[in-house]
């Protein structure tokens, strides 16, 4: 059995095409192999995504727009979808925009069995002049490539994909809500489509994008959330893939989230290790603001050590903080810190604020953390200050405002990418 499992891997590493060859090779003595079959020198290179090849089939039954107040995150979708197919022989095929429709996939398709799936989330906004704008789409596409590569799915030219996203958004422009706090959430997704139960790199894939008009995550403004911090569950670990946006990272977090909800907490604060390192919150990065024991103001988030998602909002907040807060005496830190340090800061009156940061909610203030006290400790609540009569601390409020100004183009910045109007 072990031999049978091993052979395809050895074969793959030696560039073997067939299992039969692999069986023969595995019987040979372990010698250094010089005989890897090189690609034909005249072989065509694989095709990258080419926006110039885009084919568009418009819907014949355009949807009615929903009033902004009825928009629920990720529930309603626009008229069209973008698809780009890939095969290991050809590379990327001509991109297509078609009416929004079901995918038809064989039940043996590898995505259903071995979770060959990664995704992104980014938003298109409408500015005061009615121009559609994307927020840092290059960052999302760069991250999608690292996610895809981690699960042996194909990569693509990020710039070409951004061009396609712009075309798609231009076509769907009427779905971008005008109201402040509203946007069009874009969900690029890649799946392995090879029809096989064999465990190996998919030889075919589909990159597609759908879009959902969305309102503010908290329709009533900020609503601070309470968290459950447990030592017996882990979201990601060193050497794993917690820094990649894989669907497989999300499904296992739902059960702990349900358990937190049963206890009256909205989200999990994800800890790691006996030390109780603070890593992420729910599906977001997490920031704490405190005074250090020697009295310095510090804004802190976990470092990108392979267990933390390289959030676009996280990165933007760090850059804004360095630009705006350093001069006010803040230290901005990406370093490990523990829930024990957070609890001590709260006990000593040094804890100032905490909030999650992600594309969906932008910033999500935190008001309470129930910590189980670690492996040998006693459970306790950690209270996080908010402003008097408000559901957010001052930093969360400011970051939300500074982000919105750039997302909606009130403040011009390189982060905001204008989308040219649709032309056939
Ligand atoms: C985000 O907060 O941006 C997320 O990634 C949540 C998304 C999975 C809905």
3-state SS string over 76-100? CCCCEEEEEEEECCCEECCCEEEEC
pLDDT tens digit sequence for 337-382: 999 999 999 999 999 999 999 999 999 999 999 999 998 889 999 9
Residue listed under structure tokens 């800890």:
271
CB atoms within 10 A of CB 57: 10
When computed from its CA atoms, the radius of gyration of the chain, rounded to whole angstroms, is 24
157 CB near ligand 1 (under 6 Å): no
CB 71, CB 179: distance < 8 Å? no
Q: Whose CA is nearest to atom 5 of ligand 1?
A: 283
* Beta-bridge partner residues of 379: none
Locate CATH 3.20.10.10 in the chain. 225-407
358 CB near ligand 1 (under 6 Å): yes
CB atoms within 10 A of CB 280: 28
Q: Does domain 51-214 have CATH number 3.30.470.10?
A: yes
DSSP state letters, 372-416: ---SSS--EEEE----TTSSS-HHHHHHHHHHHHHHTTSS--TTE
Q: Whose CA is nearest to atom 8 of ligand 1?
A: 283
Could you tell me the distance, in angstroms and rounded to a whole number, from the CA of residue 283 to the centre of ligand 1?
A: 6
How far apart are the C-alpha atoms of 95 and 348, rounded to whole Å?
Answer: 58
CB 177, CB 229: distance < 8 Å? no
Residues of the chain falling short of pLDDT 50: 1-29
pLDDT at 42: 55
Could you tell me the distance, in angstroms and rounded to a whole number, from the CA of residue 360 to the centre of ligand 1?
A: 5
Choice from 121, 187, 257, 287 to test ligand 1 binding pocket (greatest atom count within 8 A of CB): 121
Token pair for residue 55?
């084919």
CB 312, CB 140: distance < 8 Å? yes
How far apart are the C-alpha atoms of 355 and 366, rounded to whole Å?
Answer: 5
| Residue 309 Cα: closest atom of ligand 1 | 5
Could you tell me the distance, in angstroms and rounded to a whole number, from the CA of residue 249 to the centre of ligand 1?
A: 12
Contacts 24+ apart (CB under 8 A), 260-266: 260/227, 260/228, 263/228, 263/370, 264/226, 265/225, 265/226, 265/227, 265/228, 265/368, 265/370, 266/225, 266/226, 266/227
CB 352, CB 393: distance < 8 Å? yes
Choice from 185, 267, 270, 360 to test ligand 1 binding pocket (greatest atom count within 8 A of CB): 360
pLDDT at 2: 32
pLDDT at 32: 53
pLDDT at 218: 73
Could you tell me the distance, in angstroms and rounded to a whole number, from the CA of residue 366 to the centre of ligand 1?
A: 17
Q: Whose CA is nearest to atom 2 of ligand 1?
A: 358
CATH of domain 225-407: 3.20.10.10
Could you tell me the distance, in angstroms and rounded to a whole number, from the CA of residue 24 to the centre of ligand 1?
A: 48
pLDDT at 97: 98
pLDDT at 40: 55
Could you tell me the distance, in angstroms and rounded to a whole number, from the CA of residue 52 to the centre of ligand 1?
A: 31
105 CB near ligand 1 (under 6 Å): no
Q: CB-based contacts of 348: which residues, under 8 Å, 6+ apart?
A: 293
Choice from 123, 283, 355 to test ligand 1 binding pocket (greatest atom count within 8 A of CB): 283
Could you tell me the distance, in angstroms and rounded to a whole number, from the CA of residue 184 to the centre of ligand 1?
A: 14
pLDDT at 222: 83
Q: How far is CA 303 from CA 231, 234, 307, 312, 326, in A?
A: 20, 17, 9, 14, 19
* pTM of the predicted structure, to 2 decimals: 0.89
| Residue 73 Cα: closest atom of ligand 1 | 9
* Beta-bridge partner residues of 175: none
């Amino acid at each position: 059995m072990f031999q049978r499992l091993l052979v395809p891997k050895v074969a793959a590493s030696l560039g073997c095409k067939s299992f039969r060859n692999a069986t023969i090779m595995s019987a040979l003595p372990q010698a250094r192999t010089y005989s890897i079959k090189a690609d034909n020198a005249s072989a065509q290179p694989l095709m990258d995504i080419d926006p110039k090849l885009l084919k568009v089939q418009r819907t014949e039954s355009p949807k009615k727009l929903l009033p902004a107040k009825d928009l629920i995150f990720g529930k309603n979708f626009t008229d069209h979808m973008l698809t780009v197919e890939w095969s290991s022989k050809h590379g990327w095929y001509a991109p297509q925009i078609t009416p929004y429709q079901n995918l038809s996939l064989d039940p043996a398709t590898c995505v259903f069995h071995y979770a060959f799936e990664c995704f992104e989330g980014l938003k298109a906004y409408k500015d005061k002049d009615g121009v559609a704008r994307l927020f840092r789409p290059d960052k999302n596409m760069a991250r999608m490539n690292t996610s895809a590569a981690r699960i042996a799915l194909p990569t693509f030219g990020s710039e070409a994909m951004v061009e396609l996203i712009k075309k798609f958004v231009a076509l769907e422009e009427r779905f971008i809500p005008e109201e402040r706090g509203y946007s069009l959430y874009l969900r690029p997704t890649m799946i392995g489509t090879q029809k096989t139960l064999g465990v190996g790199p998919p030889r075919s894939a589909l990159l597609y994008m759908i879009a959902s008009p969305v309102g503010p995550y908290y329709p009533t403004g900020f609503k601070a959330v309470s968290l459950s911090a447990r030592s017996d569950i882990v979201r990601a670990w060193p050497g794993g893939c917690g820094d990649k946006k894989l669907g497989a990272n999300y499904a296992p977090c739902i059960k702990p989230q349900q358990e937190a909800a049963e206890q009256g907490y909205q989200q999990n604060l994800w800890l790691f290790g006996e030390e109780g390192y603070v890593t992420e919150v729910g599906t977001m990065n997490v920031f704490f603001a405190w005074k250090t024991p020697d009295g310095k103001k510090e804004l802190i988030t976990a470092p990108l050590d392979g267990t933390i998602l390289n959030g676009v909002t996280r990165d933007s907040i760090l850059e804004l903080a360095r630009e705006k807060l350093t001069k006010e005496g803040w230290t901005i830190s990406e370093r490990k810190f523990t829930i024990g340090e957070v609890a001590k800061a709260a006990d000593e009156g040094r804890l100032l604020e905490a909030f999650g940061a992600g594309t969906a909610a932008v910033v999500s203030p935190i008001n309470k953390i129930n910590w189980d006290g670690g492996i040998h400790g006693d459970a306790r609540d950690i209270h996080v200050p908010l402003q008097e009569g408000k559901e957010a601390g001052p930093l969360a409020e400011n970051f939300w405002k500074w982000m919105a100004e750039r997302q909606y183009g009130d403040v011009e910045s390189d982060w905001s990418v204008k989308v040219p109007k649709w032309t056939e």
